[in-house]
């Protein structure tokens, strides 16, 4: 009898441990990239709280040729947020409540999923939470969107070895991209889109480039313009020299960054064609590759007249951030 009781206890203990280790299944999330489901009462959405949500989460992105929001916002009342609607990949939940909280939940109803939660006892508390915590929520959602973009294009990757042979680097590059130009210390990769092209260029500068902080932005512009003049010609116009340069009316934005675990500078701005009315956005990372005594420059730009470019640039950024220095 005693042995039987011990055996039963061991079986129950084993079952309990298995239940704890069992992974809870969650369905795959859905939703268009860079689209945020905003769950809040109609009254809040149509008033000052909704205005504050739009101010932060639909703020125009810098470095584009015209205003495009960082997220497309899709409002839905709380009572609609049920069933399949809860499987949206990016969600912002805003409500009046008996508590004052702001946080981000991961994989709450689906995977991958980020749910930003903002609650307040008054509209004033809600607005304060939106002001204080929106950057953190945006960064978390944007990271998930970036990972989802990379997951999608990783299904079919290019096998071209030009970047590895020329610079000892690689990207997770979708197979739809092709090498259009390769010269000593320069590789240009592009893909066709309905109204233009998406482009990536890679080149290197000496390790001691950009030694003066006071002239950093100006030196970036000079570097880009010289590379554009040498490698990226514009349309063939009689009696005119055309090439890709940096938009003269606006200085590019520069931020600290990290790529492949290495410190870098992130540069966003507008390119233009010298002596021709054509322009578009660019994103550069200037990487301090000290091991190879060089500044490695990886840049993406889009040519797509009269077309929204946010999602094109987001895909290009996702590619650049898969960089590996071999």
Q: For residue range 265-301, what is the model confidence (pLDDT) as tens digits?
A: 999 999 999 999 999 999 999 999 999 999 999 999 9
Among 112, 162, 161, CA closest to 141: 112
Class of domain 162-325: alpha beta
Q: At the top level of CATH, which class does the domain 35-153 belong to?
A: alpha beta
Following DSSP, what letter does each residue of 211-241 receive, concatenated? --GGGHHHHHHHHHHHHHHHH-B----TT--
Say if residue 53's pLDDT is above 80. Answer: yes
Summarize pLDDT for 178-217 with one digit per residue, the tens: 999 999 999 999 999 998 999 999 999 999 999 888 899 9
State the burial class of residue 192 (Cβ atoms within 10 Å of its Cβ: 0-12, 13-18, 19+): exposed
Neighbour count for residue 94 (Cβ, 10 Å)? 25
Domain positions in the chain: 35-153, 162-325
| The predicted structure's pLDDT at residue 15 | 52
Residue 17's pLDDT band, with cuts at 50, 70 and 90, is low
- Mean pLDDT of all residues in 18-44: 86
Closest alpha carbon to 230 in 257, 251, 203 = 203
> Using 50, 70 and 90 to split pLDDT, how confident is the model at 12?
low
Q: Model-level pTM greater than 0.85?
A: yes
Cβ partners under 8 Å of residue 186, min gap 6: 201, 202, 203, 227, 230, 231
Measured over the CA atoms of residue 34, residue 308, residue 217 and residue 208, the dihedral's sign is positive
Spell out the alpha helix ranges (H) of the chain: 2-21, 42-45, 48-57, 123-153, 162-167, 216-231, 310-320
């Amino acid at each position: 009898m005693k042995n039987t009781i011990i055996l039963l206890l061991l079986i129950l203990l084993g079952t309990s441990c298995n239940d704890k280790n069992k992974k809870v299944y969650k369905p795959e999330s859905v939703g268009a990239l860079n689209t945020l489901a905003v769950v809040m009462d109609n009254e809040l959405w149509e008033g000052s709280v909704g205005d504050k949500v739009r101010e932060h989460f639909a703020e125009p992105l810098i470095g584009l040729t015209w205003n495009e929001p960082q997220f497309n916002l899709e409002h839905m009342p709380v009572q609609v947020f049920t069933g399949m609607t809860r499987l949206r990949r990016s969600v912002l939940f805003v409500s009046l409540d008996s508590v004052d909280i702001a946080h981000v939940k991961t994989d709450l109803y689906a995977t991958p999923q980020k749910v930003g939660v903002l609650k307040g006892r008054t509209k004033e508390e809600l607005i304060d939470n939106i002001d204080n915590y929106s950057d953190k929520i945006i960064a978390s959602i944007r990271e998930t969107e970036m990972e989802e973009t990379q997951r999608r294009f990783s299904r079919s990757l290019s096998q071209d070895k030009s970047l590895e042979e020329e610079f000892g680097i690689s990207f997770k590059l979708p197979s739809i991209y092709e090498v259009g130009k390769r010269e000593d210390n320069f590789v240009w990769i592009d893909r066709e889109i309905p109204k233009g092209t998406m482009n990536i260029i890679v080149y290197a500068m000496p390790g001691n480039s950009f030694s003066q902080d006071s002239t950093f932005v100006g030196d970036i512009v000079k570097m880009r313009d010289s590379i554009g003049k040498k490698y990226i010609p514009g349309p063939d116009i009689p009696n005119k020299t055309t090439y890709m340069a940096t938009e003269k009316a606006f200085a590019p934005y520069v931020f600290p960054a990290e790529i492949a675990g290495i410190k870098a500078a992130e540069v966003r701005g507008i390119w233009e064609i010298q002596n021709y009315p054509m322009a578009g956005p660019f994103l550069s990372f200037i990487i301090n590759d000290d091991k190879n005594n060089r500044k490695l420059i990886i840049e993406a730009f889009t040519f797509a007249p009269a077309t929204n470019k946010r999602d094109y640039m987001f895909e290009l950024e996702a590619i650049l951030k898969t960089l590996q220095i071999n």
